[in-house]
Structure 1
């Protein structure tokens, strides 16, 4: 009497592998979206701190900043950021409208889209 072969056929193994691959892809895709959202939220939070810090540093200076645009790079939380400060003089000459745009410099600064913008007003000290 011949003993029957035991184990799985090649077709059964391939079907099982296909099911595993499809399931794994769905799980990875499902977890990638919340991770990307969490990363974006972290960038916005850090950028808001940078913008607030820059505005406070301007407010403690003895003179109002001149009108114009100033760009500078800042290192914060082990990351590089570009702060673009735009100062406008409104109708009331004793005030300054200051806009702080903060961009995350990923990939050498090629994708410099502001992550956060803050608008504030400064008065004469």
Structure 2
């Protein structure tokens, strides 16, 4: 009489382990990409805060900056950020356009955030033509 064999063969077990290993590798890769994306989004969000802070500073002080380019830095979250403000005139004499770009490395071309805003001169009535 032949006995019935129960269980898996060695080949079946190895194939199952190979499929499991491939699936786990794919999951780990996806998790790694998600972590990288989260880190990038966090950096871009902080850089945008730096730019927004610069624009709000001008608005709160009611600045009327000259049409020029200015560089500076700010520290947020223990990290130093480098910003550049480019102020330009507009067809309306009482309004200035300000473009603020923020980067992690001072001389880098890799901009983490870019913000464009407008400042209105509320103190100079001559510029309004009145």
- TM superposition score normalised by structure 1: 0.73
**Distance of aligned partners of 1:25 and 1:110 in 2 relative to their CA distance in 1, 3 Å threshold:** farther
Instruction: State the match for 1:47 in structure 2.
Output: 47
Instruction: State the match for 1:88 in structure 2.
Output: 88
Higher-Rg structure is: 2
Instruction: State the match for 1:119 in structure 2.
Output: 116
Structure 2 counterpart SS, 1:74: strand
Task: Tell me, in whole angstroms, the C-alpha distance in 2 between the residues paired with 1:63 and 1:37.
Answer: 37
Instruction: State the match for 1:76 in structure 2.
Output: 76
Structure 2 counterpart SS, 1:114: coil
Task: Provide the aligned C-alpha RMSD in A.
Answer: 2.7
Q: Which runs of 5+ in 2 are unaligned?
A: 1-14, 123-130
Q: Which runs of 5+ in 1 are unaligned?
A: 1-14
Pairs aligned (count): 113
Structure 2 counterpart SS, 1:52: helix
Task: Tell me, in whole angstroms, the C-alpha distance in 1 between the residues paired with 2:32 and 2:116.
Answer: 33
Q: What does residue range 1-125 of structure 1 map to in structure 2 within 5 Å? A: 25-105=25-105, 109=106, 111-125=108-122
